[in-house]
Structure 1
Amino acid sequence: MESRHLRYALALAEHQHFGRAAASLGIAQPPLSTQIAAVEREVGERLFDRTPRGVFPTAAGTAFLARARRALGEMTAAAVEAGRAARGETGQLRMGFIGSALLDPLPGVLGRFRRARPDVRLDLREVNSPDGTAALVAGELDVAVGRGTPRGARVDGLVTVPIGADHLVAVVGTAHPFAGRAEIRLEQLAAERLIMSAPTQEPAVAARLHDLFGAGAAALDAATVSRDIHTIIGLAACDVGVGLGPARMRLVTRKDVWFCDIAPRVRLPDLQLSFRAADDSPVLAAFLDIVRANCAEVGSRLDDVLARREARSVKP
């Protein structure tokens, strides 16, 4: 039994006349009569009473028509939902990110994506960069935002684009001698009590600091380590020491801290967005479109990737 058979039966029940029903369907009356009879044989019950006054559903026909109406409705809904899924309007996006990305650029990206795709479920997890890469490679995430180039097994199957450049800044409490200064010299930090991210949380930043101070620097050995940049800022406000972190920390507004540039400027590894090259999910494609519109740093590389993905999706 095909969907057209259900439509034929519903049209006959509506018009109560084979001729009028056939006209509404755009077919001749004899084929309609033949198809209705075939449906009745398949069902095994008489669905319509043919009378001089018209054609009316039997009790069996009434029950059949109720199901037929629901079935056609479900078929229509299925086609609509399939189209929405193909356009990336429904589904799920699993993203891992480091905490500092929540200052910039993720608020703009996620906010715009949520408004554009309200029916896509976002599964968001804060993870450090190595764990995010590992989960992405394992298929547990669709997108990972971390600092620096992904490393580890099977990363050659990932596409990685920069979404934010950054440099090192210092943060101190307003009672600290550095408060009020526009910048401080790198060598001045060696004599200070430092606050920095734990190497497990921001390994790229920790590695950069060790390059600057030397692996055995007393300042780093005695540093207070924290889980995230908000803790670094909070500890600096408590006058525990000089906090070190990415410049996007300045986006945290507090009256009890002061941010200083460090001279010479220390470039940190870029924030990077990664996804699996073989992932052709429409939801991911929609998300990457938002990233491209919000993050100037992605450059032509993401444009090239999106163009290739679009070309693969076009059917002959």
Structure 2
Amino acid sequence: MEARHLRYALALAEHRHFGRAAAAVGIAQPPLSKQIAALEREIGARLFDRTPGGVFPTAAGEAFLERARAALAEMAGAALDAGRAARGETGRLRLGFIGSALLELLPPLLGRFGREHPDVRLRLHEMSTARSAAALLDGELDVAIGRGAPRGAGAEDLTSVTVGTDRLVAVVGTGHPYAGQRSVRAEQLRDQQLVVAPADQEPALCTALREVLDPAALDRAVEARDVHTILGLAACGIGVGLAPACLRVAARPDTWICEVRPRIDLPELVMSFRGADRSPVLAEFLDTTRRQCPGVSARLAGRG
């Protein structure tokens, strides 16, 4: 039994005449009569009464037609769902990101993607750069956003593009001697209690800091998981927080932010994904990234 047999039976029930039903489904009357007869033999029951006044479904026919309508509707729905999935309109996207990506990059990007793809299920996980890279390589994530491109075994299978750049700033409580200053010099941080991201969570960031700041000051630094914790500890007077300049959008009234001189550029904010991943949802997300983030389009050339 094929879908066309269901359509033939439904057409015959609607038109109650073999000739009109055949015209409706686009075949000649004799083949339609043979197909209905073959269908009845396969089922083992007469589906239609042939009378001088027309062709009418039997009780068996009515039961069959009810299921036939549902089956064809399901088939049409399956085709529709498959098409939407193939276009990236449905499905799932698993995204891992560092907390600072929520300050500038992700709000407009995820907002636009959500509006344009309301039926895609977003699975969002805040995690360190190191953890998100490992999860991406293990197939637990579709996209990872962190500081610097992933490294290590398997990283050659990933595609990484820069989606943001930033510089280092210092944040202090309003009672700190640096409060009110536009900038501080890197050597002024030597004797300060610092608040920084953990080295095991953000290795690229910590390596960059060690290249320009006093290693001893970094060794005794207080570790904070994200920029909001750095802001909070600075507000408490615990020390001088070191963070990306984008934390200005989350600044608190009880903190003060100073530029660090000379300027210290931080590792780039990088979006990574498996190069062989041909998921339609991923392709749609990358397309949204192209349109939302200036300068990213050329780096994503050849994708989607």
Decide whether the 8 Å contact of 2:173 with 2:254 is kept in 1: yes
> Per the alignment, in what secondary structure is the counterpart of residue 134 of structure 2?
helix
Q: CA deviation at 1:213?
A: 2.5
> Per the alignment, in what secondary structure is the counterpart of residue 296 of structure 2?
helix
Q: Which amino acid aligns with 1:225?
A: E
Question: Match of 2:151?
Answer: 151
Decide whether the 8 Å contact of 2:231 with 2:251 is kept in 1: no
The 5 Å alignment of 1:118-267 reads 118-215=118-215, 217=216, 219-267=217-265
Decide whether the 8 Å contact of 2:22 with 2:29 is kept in 1: yes
Q: CA deviation at 1:238?
A: 1.1
Decide whether the 8 Å contact of 1:172 with 1:236 is kept in 2: yes
The 5 Å alignment of 1:259-278 reads 259-278=257-276
Q: What is the CA–CA distance in structure 2 between the aligned matches of 1:210 and 1:253, rounded to whole Å? A: 25
Q: What is the CA–CA distance in structure 2 between the aligned matches of 1:95 and 1:236, rounded to whole Å? A: 30
Q: What is the CA–CA distance in structure 2 between the aligned matches of 1:294 and 1:51, rounded to whole Å? A: 67
Deviations 1:173-203 (A, max 9, x none): 1121211211111111112221111112222
Question: Match of 1:33?
Answer: 33
Decide whether the 8 Å contact of 2:6 with 2:72 is kept in 1: yes
Q: What is the CA–CA distance in structure 1 between the aligned matches of 2:219 and 2:137, rounded to whole Å? A: 33
Say whether 1:305 aligns with 2:282.
no
Decide whether the 8 Å contact of 2:130 with 2:202 is kept in 1: no
Q: What is the CA–CA distance in structure 2 between the aligned matches of 1:57 and 1:49, rounded to whole Å? A: 6
Decide whether the 8 Å contact of 2:186 with 2:213 is kept in 1: no
> Per the alignment, in what secondary structure is the counterpart of residue 199 of structure 1?
coil
Q: CA deviation at 1:214?
A: 4.1
Question: Match of 1:295?
Answer: 293
Give the TM-score normalised by structure 2: 0.97
Q: Which amino acid aligns with 2:50?
A: R
Q: CA RMSD in A?
A: 1.2
Decide whether the 8 Å contact of 2:22 with 2:32 is kept in 1: yes
> Per the alignment, in what secondary structure is the counterpart of residue 180 of structure 1?
coil
Say whether 1:44 aligns with 2:44.
yes
Q: Which amino acid aligns with 2:302?
A: V
After alignment, is 170-179 or 86-95 more displaced?
A: 170-179
> Per the alignment, in what secondary structure is the counterpart of residue 195 of structure 2?
strand
> Per the alignment, in what secondary structure is the counterpart of residue 298 of structure 1?
coil
Decide whether the 8 Å contact of 2:149 with 2:272 is kept in 1: no
Q: What is the CA–CA distance in structure 2 between the aligned matches of 1:296 and 1:27, rounded to whole Å? A: 56
Deviations 1:151-192 (A, max 9, x none): 110100110000000110011111212112111111111122
After alignment, is 230-239 or 290-299 more displaced?
A: 290-299
Q: What is the CA–CA distance in structure 2 between the aligned matches of 1:293 and 1:181, rounded to whole Å? A: 38
Give the TM-score normalised by structure 1: 0.93
Question: Match of 2:277?
Answer: 279
Q: What is the CA–CA distance in structure 2 between the aligned matches of 1:253 and 1:228, rounded to whole Å? A: 13
Decide whether the 8 Å contact of 2:97 with 2:132 is kept in 1: yes
Q: Which amino acid aligns with 1:267?
A: D
Q: What is the CA–CA distance in structure 2 between the aligned matches of 1:283 and 1:162, rounded to whole Å? A: 20
